[in-house]
Amino acid sequence: MSCFWDTLIKNINKNVIRDILQIENINPKAFSNALKNENIKTENVLWNNEKLTEKQKLENFDHIKEYNITTVDNGYLCSCCDPFLLLITELFNLEIIHNYNKNKLIYKNTKECKYSININSNSGHMW
């Protein structure tokens, strides 16, 4: 079950994914691996209009660095302030509005915000 990755791939502009991550065959394993390769501290992202602390940025960076891409098809436990959503917001210059069980979580790039995507999830699935 790769609904986390499938949802992001479905909602992010494919040309932007290709340009930024330098991948042609956009699938969950390639996408997550490319994100790991482009991992940086998220200096230009607000989460629910709040800046991240340096400790949070480092912990998020480490989470992505240590992510095992062989588990992509086993599901991904997306957190409320998720490291991959923060990184995607940073790299792709966008805003992510994550509706989790009727709670709105907003990730926004403060440097440049080209567009916004909406994703939805509950405790077991993302769409």
Q: What is the pLDDT of residue 123?
A: 84
Q: What is the pLDDT of residue 124?
A: 86
Residue 96, classified by CB atoms within 10 Å of its CB into exposed (0-12), middle (13-18) or buried (19+), is buried
Where are the domains positioned within the chain? 3-38+45-121
Token digits of residue 68: 């095992």
Q: Which of 124, 79, 127 is nearest to 105 (CA)?
A: 79
Q: What is the mean pLDDT of the chain?
A: 96
> Looking at residues 38-62, what average pLDDT do you find?
98
Span 89-124, pLDDT tens digits: 999 999 999 999 989 999 999 999 999 999 999 988
